[in-house]
Amino acid sequence: MNSLKTGILMSALMALFLVVGAMIGGGPGMGIAFVMAAGINLLAYWNSDKMLLSMYGARAVDAGSEPALYHIVERLAAQAGLPMPAVYIAQNEQPNAFATGRNPHHAAVCVTSGLLARLGPEELAGVIAHELGHVKNRDTLTMTITAVIAGAIGMLANFAFFMGGNRENRGTGLIGMLLVTMLAPFAALLVQSAISRSREFEADKAGAELTGRPLWLADALTAIDDSAQRVLNPPADANPATAHMFIVNPLHGGLSGLFASHPSTEERVARLRAMAAQKAPAAGPWN
Give the 3-state secondary structure of the chain. Answer: CHHHHHHHHHHHHHHHHHHHHHHHHHHHHHHHHHHHHHHHHHHHHHHHHHHHHHHCCEEEECCCCCHHHHHHHHHHHHHHCCCCCEEEEECCCCCCEEEEECCHHHEEEEEEHHHHHHCCHHHHHHHHHHHHHHHHCCCHHHHHHHHHHHHHHHHHHHHHHHHCCCCCCHHHHHHHHHHHHHHHHHHHHHHHHHHHHHHHHHHHHHHHHHHCCHHHHHHHHHHHHHHHCCCCCHHHHHCHHHHHHECCCCCCCCHHHHCCCCCCHHHHHHHHHHHHHHCCCCCCCCC
Counted domains in the chain: 1
Asked whether residue 168 is assigned to any structural domain, the reply reads: yes
Asked whether residue 40 is assigned to any structural domain, the reply reads: yes
- Supply the pLDDT for residue 148: 73
- Supply the pLDDT for residue 269: 98
Q: Which domain holds residue 90?
A: 2-278
- Supply the pLDDT for residue 147: 73
CA 195 to chain centre: 10
- Supply the pLDDT for residue 35: 80
- Supply the pLDDT for residue 262: 85
Asked whether residue 284 is assigned to any structural domain, the reply reads: no
In a structure prediction context, what are the per-residue pLDDT tens digits for the chain, which is 287 residues long?
A: 556 666 666 777 677 777 777 766 677 777 877 787 777 777 666 777 888 899 999 999 999 999 999 999 999 999 999 999 999 999 999 999 999 998 999 999 999 999 999 999 999 999 999 999 999 998 888 777 777 777 776 666 666 655 554 445 444 556 556 666 666 666 666 666 656 678 899 999 999 999 999 999 999 999 999 999 899 999 998 888 788 899 999 987 655 555 667 889 999 999 999 999 986 655 455 55
- Supply the pLDDT for residue 167: 46
Options 131, 168, 209, 267, the catalytic residue? 131
Asked whether residue 286 is assigned to any structural domain, the reply reads: no
- Cα end-to-end distance, the chain, whole Å: 35
Asked whether residue 162 is assigned to any structural domain, the reply reads: yes
Asked whether residue 283 is assigned to any structural domain, the reply reads: no
Residues 6+ apart with CB under 8 A from 185: 154, 258
Give the amino acid at 12.
A
257: exposed, middle or buried (Cβ count in 10 Å: 0-12, 13-18, 19+): exposed
Asked whether residue 184 is assigned to any structural domain, the reply reads: yes
Whether 131 is a known active-site residue: answer: yes
